[in-house]
Structure 1
Amino acid sequence: MDRRTLLTSIAGAATASACTRRDDADAGDNHAGRPTLAIDSEAPGRWRIRSWQWRANAWRPQIARARLTNGKIQISGAIDAADRAAVIARLRA
């Protein structure tokens, strides 16, 4: 292997393994270390929901409350859109 081939292969390997910055708009909910959704019972028919949203390069909690009224689940407060279906499914179970 000559010097030119060696340097070309090193440069190619470095380029292929280089880290690239992901834009927040393209990243979605695939950030490493996403905290888990938490649903805690406060009383019969009442729950506290802690969802997480990626903002300003950090996971930020979103706290909401849910209650069962006339057989329907009413949620007050913000829940991340990615967690909304999971919250409703878990509360109906």
Structure 2
Amino acid sequence: MRSRYSAFVLADGDYLMATHHSSTRPTKEKKAIVKWAKSVQWIRLEVLETTKGTENDTEGTVTFNAYFFENGNVDVIHEKSAFVKENEQWFYLGLSR
């Protein structure tokens, strides 16, 4: 999660796509994601809760707040993200239910 947040801060679309699971990867939206990530000023990531996601797990969730400054206002993305581990690498699946 922290590395994906850093990729948003750096507007590193290649990393965001590479760490997004192939079954949910928004390849067609890559340019728009990068453009938006560059247009805001990232403030901080606050991890609120994690479930599973340890070295021996193959899935996990992260609940977080990502604060950013946009159009003169501080805003926040609050999300519970699902991750899956394949071949010893973690991939973002999307919103957790």
Tell me the TM-score normalised to structure 2 length: 0.34
Structure whose residues are more often strand by fraction: 2
Structure with greater contact order relative to length (CA < 8 Å, sep ≥ 6): 2
Tell me the TM-score normalised to structure 1 length: 0.35
Task: Give the number of the structure whose alpha-carbon radius of gyration is greater.
Answer: 1
